[in-house]
């Protein structure tokens, strides 16, 4: 294990200059300095894992370039600063190509330049450590058990499919009603796969106007169209080496589906206004709350694109079909909300649990979370009672399911009901349902 001290090796055969470097670096109490007079003794001690090596270009036993190469072979994270009196630009360029962080010409007033360089290295180390720590937190957040709460057979099946998806780069299609957690599953796949350290980029197809979606996905060059004041990188490029999550893919206009198909087949994109193809390597995960095969039959979705994106299917069941998972999730949300808001822990009363199990959850997991967070806020003591759970009348909601409606018809009725409830304010309803305002207008137009 490395110590907390920032460890620096000074490799210099000139005794006076060696002492000068050691003295200047030792002025910072956070630095732990060791000095060596030749390349071999430095290499023999690399097991001590220095953060930085200041390296004389001309040593008695080997050239600085050779030592640099050996250091990088042993541990590429060690930063090497070459120090020499020679100023041959070709030599400097060659050293930088082989991984040297900087090249400093020997002089009596080297102190400021050297200390600034090491300060910059240390800042970069701290930033990398912070990023590494954040990535660990993200992986923890999107571990299976934190992504999907429950132990029902349906939940265990989802765990099994997620695990299979993480082993390869196969395209994954996630289906399920609004609010079942499709994006969370996509993130769980990404952050538990070999691409976990690379970008996860999500695009909601329904939230982007038709005339902007091509630029959003593929990017554009400066001047490609009116208003294109600068080059823009598209989502495919942003997700390069990582995962691109195409949410609500069924909402993609039929005229753009052919372009998406070509990109998926050729693994290259072309920015609007450019003739130069750009290779891309990103895993594709798609999601929809519609039956894509039915959309193909209706002529709304290309059959060839359907077969391209179907991949490994993961169907997320509605919350009302997950039985006791509802109670497990409710308890999890109670615990998380209390922690986030520094509240005393609260429990769920038997009557509250019974009420939760009787409710059909048209908004699925997203709705349950909102109901629980409000209940925790309303509960004055340590226990959440049935009266704290502000749910619609289950009998009214059950009547919706008994009408034999399609999912589209149900969604339309739900939108209309909420528009009535919130004084015909589409933006407010869109926020409540976590969908784009354009989706609401389109649903009403297609009625």
What pLDDT, on a 0 to 100 scale, did the predictor assign at position 434?
67
Percent of the chain predicted with pLDDT > 90? 54
Q: Which residues pair with 171 in a beta bridge?
A: none
What pLDDT, on a 0 to 100 scale, did the predictor assign at position 423?
75
Percent of the chain predicted with pLDDT > 70? 91
Interval 158-210: pLDDT, tens = 999 999 999 999 999 999 998 899 999 999 999 889 998 899 999 999 888 88
CATH code of the region 144-315? 3.40.50.300
Q: Reply yes or no on whether the pLDDT at 393 is more than 60.
A: no
Q: Reply yes or no on whether the pLDDT at 301 is more than 50.
A: yes
Q: What is the mean pLDDT of residues 404-423?
A: 73
Q: What is the mean pLDDT of residues 396-412?
A: 59
Start-end ranges of CATH 1.10.8.60 in the chain?
A: 319-445
Q: Reply yes or no on whether the pLDDT at 405 is more than 70.
A: no
Q: Reply yes or no on whether the pLDDT at 142 is more than 90.
A: no
Q: Reply yes or no on whether the pLDDT at 136 is more than 70.
A: no
* Mean pLDDT, all residues of the chain: 87
Check if the beta carbon of residue 415 is closer than 8 Å to that of residue 434.
no
What pLDDT, on a 0 to 100 scale, did the predictor assign at position 226?
78
Start-end ranges of CATH 3.40.50.300 in the chain?
A: 144-315
Check if the beta carbon of residue 152 is closer than 8 Å to that of residue 323.
yes
Question: Long-range contacts of range 71-80, CB-CB < 8 Å, 24 or more positions apart?
Answer: 71/42, 71/43, 71/46, 72/98, 72/99, 74/43, 74/46, 75/46, 75/49, 78/46, 78/49, 78/50, 78/51, 78/52, 78/53, 79/51, 79/52, 79/53, 79/121, 80/52, 80/53, 80/54, 80/55
* Superfamily the domain 6-136 falls into: Response regulator (3.40.50.2300)
What pLDDT, on a 0 to 100 scale, did the predictor assign at position 353?
95
**Other CB atoms within 10 A of residue 218 CB:** 24
What pLDDT, on a 0 to 100 scale, did the predictor assign at position 144?
58
What pLDDT, on a 0 to 100 scale, did the predictor assign at position 145?
61
Q: What is the mean pLDDT of residues 10-23?
A: 92
What pLDDT, on a 0 to 100 scale, did the predictor assign at position 396?
47
Greater pLDDT, 398 or 204:
204
Least confident of 83-97, 98-112, 191-205, 268-282: 83-97
Least confident of 57-61, 68-72, 324-328, 396-400: 396-400
> Vertex 183, ends 179 and 186: CA angle to 5°?
140
What pLDDT, on a 0 to 100 scale, did the predictor assign at position 442?
80
Check if the beta carbon of residue 147 is closer than 8 Å to that of residue 183.
no
Q: Reply yes or no on whether the pLDDT at 94 is more than 70.
A: yes
Class of CATH domain 319-445: mainly alpha
Which among 343, 342, 371 has a CA at the least distance from the CA of 355?
371
Instruction: Please tell me the distance from the alpha carbon of residue 326 to that of residue 371, in angstroms, as a whole number.
Output: 12
Q: Which residues pair with 7 in a beta bridge?
A: 32
What pLDDT, on a 0 to 100 scale, did the predictor assign at position 8?
95
Start-end ranges of CATH 3.40.50.2300 in the chain?
A: 6-136
Q: Reply yes or no on whether the pLDDT at 40 is more than 80.
A: yes
């Amino acid at each position: 294990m490395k110590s907390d001290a920032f460890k620096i090796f000074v490799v210099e055969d000139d005794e006076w200059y060696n002492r000068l470097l050691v003295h200047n670096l030792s002025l910072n109490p956070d630095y732990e300095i060791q000095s060596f007079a030749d390349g071999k003794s430095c290499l023999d001690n690399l097991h001590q894992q220095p953060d930085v090596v200041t390296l004389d270009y001309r040593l008695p036993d080997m050239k600085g370039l050779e030592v640099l190469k050996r250091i990088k072979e042993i541990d590429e994270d060690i930063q090497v600063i070459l120090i020499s009196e020679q100023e041959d630009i070709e030599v400097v360029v060659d050293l930088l190509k082989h991984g040297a962080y900087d090249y400093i010409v020997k002089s009596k007033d080297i102190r400021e330049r050297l200390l600034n360089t090491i300060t910059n290295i240390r800042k970069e180390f701290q930033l990398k450590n912070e990023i590494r720590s954040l990535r660990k937190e993200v992986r923890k957040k999107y571990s299976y058990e934190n992504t999907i709460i429950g132990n029902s057979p349906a939940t265990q099946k989802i765990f099994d499919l997620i695990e299979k998806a993480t082993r390869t780069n196969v395209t994954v299609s996630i289906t399920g009603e609004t609010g079942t957690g499709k994006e969370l599953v996509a993130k769980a796949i990404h952050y538990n796969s070999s691409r976990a350290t690379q970008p996860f980029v999500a695009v909601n197809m329904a939230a982007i106007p038709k005339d902007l979606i091509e630029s959003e996905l593929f990017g554009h060059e400066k001047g490609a169209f009116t208003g294109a004041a600068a080059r823009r990188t598209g989502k495919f490029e942003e997700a390069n080496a990582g995962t691109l999550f195409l949410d609500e893919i069924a909402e993609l206009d039929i005229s753009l589906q052919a372009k998406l198909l070509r990109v998926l087949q050729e693994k290259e994109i072309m920015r609007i206004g450019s003739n130069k193809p750009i290779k891309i390597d990103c895993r594709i995960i798609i999601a929809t709350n519609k039956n894509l095969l039915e959309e193909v039959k209706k002529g709304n979705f290309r059959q060839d694109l359907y077969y391209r994106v179907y991949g490994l299917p993961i169907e997320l069941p509605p919350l009302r079909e997950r039985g006791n998972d509802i109670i497990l999730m409710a308890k999890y949300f109670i615990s998380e909300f209390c922690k986030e808001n520094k509240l005393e822990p609260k429990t769920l009363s038997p009557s509250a649990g019974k009420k939760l199990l009787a409710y059909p959850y048209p908004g699925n997991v997203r709705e349950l979370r909102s109901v629980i967070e409000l209940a925790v806020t309303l509960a004055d003591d340590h226990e959440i009672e049935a009266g704290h759970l502000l749910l619609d009348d289950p009998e009214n909601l059950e009547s919706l399911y008994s009408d034999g409606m399609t999912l589209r018809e149900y969604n339309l009725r739900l939108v209309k009901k909420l528009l009535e409830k919130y004084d015909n304010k589409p933006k407010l309803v869109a926020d409540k349902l976590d969908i784009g305002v354009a989706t609401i207008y389109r649903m009403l137009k297609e009625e």
